[in-house]
Amino acid sequence: LLKFVFYASSQNPLEKIKKKQQDVVRFLEANKIEFEEVDITMSEEQRQWMYKNIPPEKKPAQGNPLPPQIFNGDRYCGDYDSFFESKESNTVFSFLGLKSQLASKGWLCSQGEEAENFQSKQ
């Protein structure tokens, strides 16, 4: 079972961040990749897990990493800029750790909403 962890923030006042999060969600849904959304504003444990599992070389010089951050299970995939670059270069499935466009299961973590299960639309 692939587990996509997508950390986002619906409580973040920056419209730019919200649009990035929506872009990731639209891509996952359009490609029938299942995920679960987890609210990290409601879970200090999830927030700390995210901070701890982003490789040091990928963290900003100051402050905490901003959402969205994408994981496949415990494997860090990258932030939105890395996701966007992989889409532009047509390597997004490799970026996500997928072999093809076959539907898979995953986790979506965000802020501001209660954790919910999402399944791809069949």
- At residue 32, the pLDDT reads 86
CB 53 within 8 A of CB 72: no
pLDDT in tens, 42-72: 788 988 999 999 999 999 999 888 888 898 8
CATH of the domain at 113: 3.40.30.10
pLDDT in tens, 22-37: 899 899 989 888 787 7
* Confidence category of residue 104, pLDDT binned at 50, 70, 90: very low
Residue 83 has pLDDT above 90, yes or no: yes
Rounded to an integer, what distance in angstroms lies between the CA atom of residue 112 and that of residue 62? Answer: 24
Give the total number of structural domains in the chain: 1
- At residue 12, the pLDDT reads 62
Give the predicted TM-score (pTM) of the model: 0.74
Domain that holds residue 79: 4-118
Phi/psi at 87 (nearest 5 deg)?
-65, -45
